[in-house]
Structure 1
Amino acid sequence: MSNNDPQHKTHPIFGLGGFVLPAENVRSFSSFFFKLKQDLFDGYDIPKARKNAEKNGERFQLSTWEKKGSKQYSVANLKNYKNLLTRSTNRIINRITGDGGFLFYVGEAKKRDVESHDAQQVYTNSLREVIKRLDDEFKNQDSQFLIFMDDHETRTQIVKNAIYEMHQQKKYQLIEAPLQVDSKLYQTIQCADWLCSIYGKLSFYDAEPDVKPEYELFKRYFGDRIATAQKRSNVRNNLPKRATQLSLSKLTDKFKV
């Protein structure tokens, strides 16, 4: 509803996103991303995580350690480590496109009528759109594809709906229903989480720039790069624009007597 609402304050857009890679390049990309994480975080985050694990009597495994996109792509990090963050992101995007892949995302503005809002239906609609667009893309290439998603216990019914979409709507390029996996075990899912953090801030700024003006930094540093590396992606925002303080002031000046 708004950035200050006590409950409905997370994001004006709901969407799904990630990236696409040819099957033969997935393994090498996972190794690339794993090495990139070590290069980025070996100085502080990884030693800290290892120390915390030892303190708690746990075994630290670098292979399952992850850095969440929401922590990596914060406004503060982009301000303080702009060169490091933009260079590493460009390396990721260049690797994806160089391997014959592309970035991908779909989204839509949330309805303001909370009473009629069905979160599961919104998620189902987005997943249906993902399947439709990717199926169309790979039909043109005479190729098939699989979808891997971050695991979440509430998505079982959503995946069932995806199976229905796959079989009833004749989405023949999709090999099997979307697979839910533990992000700790999949470098590709962790990378998708990083990219989605960028997609989320870009879509928020496009939808309501006055609410999160600080997200302009993401538009400035990543907007064009994301746009050129994506395929069949967009965010639908059919909601009326919120009135800004400037527009309200102009109306007041125009009609005051």
Structure 2
Amino acid sequence: MLLAYIDEIGQTGAFVSPTHARFSDSPAFGYGGFVIPAEAAREFGAYFNKQKRTLFKNEIPEGTDPNRWEKKGSDLLFARVSDDRPQNLRVFRSLISKLDALNGKLFYYAAEKPCGTPKETNTGPREFEAREENAMRETLNRLARHADSGKQQIMVMMDQINEKSRKQRLPVMYAHILGRATEHEDMRRIVEPPMHIDSSLSANIQFADWVCALVKRSIEYQLVPTSRYSWIPKETQLLRDKEIFTFESKLHLFHRAVDDICHSRILLEYRPVIDPLHTSTMNEENRKNLSESGKLHSVNKLEQPTNHAKAP
């Protein structure tokens, strides 16, 4: 059996820019985290707690249970982390290596939001609720498909939310799983609707928050020309080399003329939304400049066919 630990990527509300006074959170919303064989979940959680206690030993208040103390992903992977606290990235990469050794995978699904204020995009609470429900449905679909590819059952766990929101979400998720299972066999791989767990009690939920922080920053790098996270491609080479994301992971773009960004491609230096380059139509001077900068390799890697069809 597989266990999936997920958390939210961004917020459902409007987005204008990272510097906007009100609508600055994220250009996309969705869910992310990781999937791991059930028999390896405890070992990974123990490793996470050990690394967290060591890395932040000077920040954990005296008398506090270090296992319950949380370091939020937003504080772990801040804009200048590559220069000011590279040890955060070193530990994060060690966790990825451990997850890979235990046959785990990172996962994300997020949908780009229309850029603009609620008034400019004609969106409000109803649209924000629909955005959340659609992201959850897609997340469950893709986790089920991943489990089905390995002929395994899967249980989904996510960070605890308030009781009102939980009661609103649960019937929707349950109805989706049961309804879709009548036509899609893979949905039967999901044992129960997502269970909500207090993150202070679960090291694995805490790590899912860290994964979401990475994905959120990668999405900003891909979609915002002035992104603060230009360190993403350099510092995530390990993740790309290991193909650590599930094949079903995807950033769904909103009314773009380019394909959606799937699995580890979200970490590439080349940004198809911002830099729509095509090596087949480049003149020799541009090809030479890109080759010298190292960017041409990323473009070629993006354009190379794989053994799989494009992630749905």
**What TM-score does the superposition give when structure 1 sets the normalisation length?**
0.82
2:51 counterpart (21, 36, 42): 36
Alpha-carbon displacement from aligned partner over 1:86-145 (angstroms, at most 9, x marks no partner):
321111111111101101001111124723352221111111111111111212222100
1:93 aligns with 2:100: no
- Distance in 2, Cα, partners of 1:71 & 1:202: 15
Query: The residue matched to 1:148 in structure 2 has which SS?
Result: strand
Letter in 2 for 1:67: K
Which of 19, 25, 28 pairs up with 2:40?
Answer: 25
Gaps of 5+ in 1: 51-58, 245-257
Out of 74, 77, 81, the residue aligned to residue 81 of structure 2 is 77
Alignment match, 2:292: none
Letter in 1 for 2:149: N
Q: Per-residue deviation at 1:226?
A: 5.1
Change (3 A) 1:116 1:219: same
Moved segments of 4+, more than 4 Å: none
1:106/1:130 contact within 8 Å kept = yes
SS in structure 1 of the partner of residue 106 of structure 2: strand
Q: CA 1:226/1:16 → structure 2, altered by over 3 Å: closer, same or farther?
A: farther
Is the partner of 1:121 in helix, strand or coil? helix
Q: Paired residue for 1:164? A: 175
In structure 2, what is the equivalent of residue 222 of structure 1?
Answer: 236
**Identity, % of aligned positions:** 24
Superposition map of 1:92-241 within 5 A: 92-112=95-115, 114=118, 115-117=122-124, 118-153=127-162, 154-170=165-181, 171-210=187-226, 212=227, 214-222=228-236, 225=239, 228-231=243-246, 232-240=248-256
Any idea what SS the aligned residue of 2:155 has? coil
Return the alpha-carbon distance in structure 2 between the equivalents of residues 240 and 16 of structure 1: 21
Q: What is the one-letter code of the residue matched to 1:201?
A: R
Aligned length: 229
Partner of 1:249: none
SS of the residue corresponding to residue 180 of structure 1 reads: strand
Distance 1:223 1:131, change over 3 A: farther
Taking the aligned partners of 2:202 and 2:39, their CA distance within structure 1 comes to: 16
Once the two structures are TM-superposed, the CA of residue 6 in structure 1 deviates from its matched residue by 3.4
Structure 1 residue 161: deviation in Å? 1.0
Q: Which whole-Å CA distance do the structure 2 matches of 1:223 and 1:205 have between them?
A: 15
Alpha-carbon separation, structure 2, partners of 1:92 and 1:174? 26
Q: What do the CA deviations read for 1:34-88 (whole angstroms, capped 9, x no partner)? A: 101111111x212xx22xxxxxxxx522221111111111123322122x22321
CA distance in 1, matches of 2:148, 2:211: 25
Q: Indicate the SS of the match to 1:62.
A: coil
Displacement, 1:208?
1.3
One-letter amino acid of the structure 1 residue matched with residue 180 of structure 2: Q
SS of 1:107 mapped into structure 2: strand
Higher RCO (C-alpha 8 Å, min separation 6): 1
Per the TM alignment, residue 30 of structure 1 is displaced from its structure 2 partner at its CA by 0.8
Query: Structure 1's 224 and 90: CA in aligned 2 closer, same or farther, altered over 3 A?
Result: closer
Distance 1:229 1:239, change over 3 A: same
CA contact (8 A) 1:146 1:178 kept: yes
Q: Partner letter of residue 199 of structure 2?
A: S
Residues in 2 aligned to 1:185 and 1:178: alpha-carbon distance in whole angstroms = 17
Q: Say whether the 8 Å CA contact 2:16–2:115 is kept in structure 1.
A: no
Distance in 1, Cα, partners of 2:145 & 2:72: 31
Paired residue type of 1:204: E
**SS of match in other structure, 1:105:** strand
Structure holding more helix per residue: 1
Query: Whole-Å Cα distance in 1 between the matches of residues 25 and 167 of structure 2?
Result: 23
- 1:223: Cα distance to partner? 5.9
Q: 1:254 is matched with which residue?
A: none
Q: Distance in 2 between matches of 1:92 and 1:110?
A: 30
Q: TM-score scaled by structure 2?
A: 0.69
Farther off after superposition, 72-81 or 145-154 = 72-81
